[in-house]
Amino acid sequence: MTRNKKLFLLVICLVVIGCVIGFFVNQQLKDNRLVYISHTFGVFYVEEKDFYIEPGEYMEMWVIGYNDVEEDLESREEFKVYIKDANVYNLIETDQSYLISISSLSEPGQERYYLNQIQTGNGEQLRGEGE
């Protein structure tokens, strides 16, 4: 076989392998039905702040709040936002408003929001990935 035929067969094989892998990855995503959701709030009011510690296992920290710009109190949606960095958690205060960015990669109706970035009223930005 000539060099051009070998190259052509190699490209065809790679395309077929890529299509098969793409099909299985797409099918896996459909089966999991994961949805990426992201929110950014200009005025996120922190109502509650809490944590849970399983000794020797793990620790979860979160704040509960809402978009303070919404005027309709009955349709106001509350968000439970998990925080990975204890230093950031310690700087957040209840009954305060922040500029906040959160995201979730989960099944619809079972969202678990995580803090991406938070900014205080005086312009300081807080973020972190530690535990």
Q: Is residue 3 pLDDT above 50, yes or no?
A: yes
* Per-residue pLDDT tens digits for 74-93: 888 899 999 998 888 998 99
Report the percent of the chain where pLDDT is more than 90. Answer: 27
Mean pLDDT of 9-22: 84
Q: What integer is the mean pLDDT of 62-77?
A: 87
**Range with the lowest mean pLDDT among 10-24, 50-64, 89-103?**
10-24
Would you say 88 and 118 are in contact if contact means Cβ atoms under 8 Å apart?
yes
Task: Answer with the residue of higher pLDDT: 69 or 107.
Answer: 69
Percent pLDDT > 70 in the chain is 85
CA 51, CA 83: separation in Å to the nearest integer?
Answer: 10
Enter the pTM of the model.
0.67
Residue 1 pLDDT level (bands cut at 50, 70, 90)? low
Helices (H), 1-131: 3-32, 86-91
